[in-house]
Structures are given as C-alpha cells and as structure tokens.
Amino acid sequence: MLSLLLLCLALAPAPTLAQDPTPALVLAPAQDLCKPETSNAYKVRISVKTALGDQAYEWNESETFLFRATIAFAMRQHFDTETYNVSSVLVCNETRRVSFWFVVTSPEDQSVLVDKDQVERAIRKYRHRINNVFLLTDRTLEFLGIPPTFATPVNPDTPAWLIVFGVVIGLVCAGIVALLVSSVLQRKRKKSGTAGEEEEGKPVKVENGIACENLEGVHNGAFTDDDRFTKM
C-alpha cells in the first residue's frame, strides 16, 4: 500500500504554476489534458503594458487564478449551471510574453474536456465582462481563434452630415431669396422714380435728336484716344 502511494507520488508531475492543491491522483490525468495545439485548447495572449502603459500590473499567479475564475464564471453563466469551478479550468505553457493555453474540463467528469465550440460561445457572450475584469480590450486579451466582437455600428436616424448640409443649404437659400427680393425692390423703386420724372419734364428741348441735358454729347467712335487730348 505504502509502496503504491510512493509510486504514485513519484509518477506525479512536478507542480506547475497553475496547480491548485488537489490530490495528485486525480490531478495527474487532468493536467495531461492541458496540452498546447490540441483540438479543445485555446491559446490566450495578454498584453497588459500595451493596454495600460504606466499603470500596468504584474502578471503573476494570482492573476492566472483570477483568469481561471473568470472563465469558470463565463461557463457557469452560459450553461446556467453552478458546477463549474476554478479547478475546471486548466492552464499550461505560460510564457514571459504572457501567453498560455487553457482547457476547460467537464464538471461531471474531470477527464473529459468541454468542446471547443461551447467554450467559444461562452467566452464570446461574456467577452466584455472578461475584458473588464483585467482592464483590457479584445485586442490586448486575445483568444486566438475567437475573433473580436464588433460593436454594433451606431446608425443614427439622420446621418450627421445631412444635418450640416441642411444648415448650410438653408443659409444659402435664405441668402439668395433675400438678395433677389432686394434686387426686385431696388428695380421697382428705380422704375417708379424715373416714371415720376418723365411725367414732369415732357417738353424736353431736343437738338439733333440729342436732349439738351446730355451736354457731354455722344461719343464718336471714329476718333481714338481723344481722352488724352481733352484732359487738362
């Protein structure tokens, strides 16, 4: 019995960063499940410094723990069951980049992995919540293989440009109408003014077809540059 236990302890893999204290016998097969490049594993890339600059936090064990808890939360919410635990989420192959692989084990049977599609659906649904836990965005908390969700484009009832256009065209049309009206009024005033004059001075002295008032005479186009000579 003792030798059997000793054998099992010897076979148990070295403790990794993301190991929680569960009996080695149960853990050994489960930890094997988390392998990079397998069909049900997702790679995660985290860029805290890019996202937060000076206010970046260190990525350490506790952050990984939080990550696992968040994924478990997403799985719980999506499948509407309370059986997912932090222990259901396994993390491996952490690098300095801060990137790692994770898998989710089924709550009923720890040796069975939850399907990739289902994990994806859960994560997509709660992506926003997951991002906010870490103060990151879709681009700085990347799940390779899950495309970032796009905010629904805001479609206002009136596109903004039509409003500006409306203002400009309103002003221009108002201006045109105002100027045209004032031109018409000006012309009417001139007409009534000259009409008044004509009624008074009917017998106008005329000589050679030129009214005496036009003392300047009619310009005779046959002479050129006569202005030059008349100016004193």
Partner 1 sequence: MADSGLSVDTKREERPKWDNKVQYLLTCIGFAVGLGNVWRFPYLCQIYGGGAFLIPYLIALVFEGLPLLYLELAIGQRLRMGSIGVWNAITPFLGGVGIASMIVSFLVGLFYNTILAWVLWYFFHSFQDPLPWAECPINANHTGYVTECVESTPVNYFWYRQTLNISPNIETSGSLQWWIVVCLGTAWLIVYICFIRGIETIGKAVYVTATFPYLVLTIFLVRALTLPGASTGLVYLFTPDWEKMKNPQMWLDAATQIFFSLSLAFGGLISFSSYNPETNNCERDAVLVGVINSATSIYASIPIFAILGFKANSNLISCLEGNILALTNAFNIGDQNITVDNYDQWFEDLNGTYPDKVFSLNLKHCSLQTFLQESASGTGLAFIVFTEAVKEMPGSQVWAVLFFIMLFSLGLSSMFGNLEGILSPLRELHMVPSWIPKELFTAFICMLSFLVALIFTMSSGNYWLEIFNSYVGSIPLLIIAFFEIIAVVYVYGMKRFGDDILFMTGRQPNIFWKACWMVISPVMLIVVLVAYVAIQVQVEPSYAAWNPDFEGFPQFDVQPYPQWVFAICILLSTVPVISIPLVALYHFILWAKRRRSSQRHRNRAIPYDNGGYVMHS
What residues make contact with partner 1 under the rule CB under 8 A?
45-50, 95-99, 147, 150, 152-153, 160-165, 168-169, 172-173, 175-176, 179-180, 183, 187, 219, 221-222, 224-225, 227-228
H helices of the chain, in order, are: 2-11, 24-33, 48-52, 61-79, 116-125, 127-134, 160-200, 226-230
**Least CB distance from residue 21 to partner 1, whole Å?**
28
- Measured from the CB atom, is 16 or 111 closer to partner 1? 16
Token representation of residue 16: 């990794």
Contacts of 90 (CB under 8 A, 6+ apart): 18, 30, 31, 33, 34, 102, 103, 104, 105
- Measured from the CB atom, is 161 or 209 closer to partner 1? 161
Contacts of 3 (CB under 8 A, 6+ apart): none
- Measured from the CB atom, is 169 or 206 closer to partner 1? 169
Q: How far apart are CA 103 and CA 17, in angstroms?
A: 15
Q: Could you tell me the maximum CA-CA distance found in the chain, to the nearest angstrom?
A: 148
- Measured from the CB atom, is 46 or 89 closer to partner 1? 46
**Least CB distance from residue 4 to partner 1, whole Å?**
40
- Measured from the CB atom, is 14 or 151 closer to partner 1? 151
**Least CB distance from residue 96 to partner 1, whole Å?**
5
**Least CB distance from residue 220 to partner 1, whole Å?**
9
**Least CB distance from residue 150 to partner 1, whole Å?**
5
Collapsing DSSP to helix, strand or coil, 111 comes out as coil
Contacts of 58 (CB under 8 A, 6+ apart): none
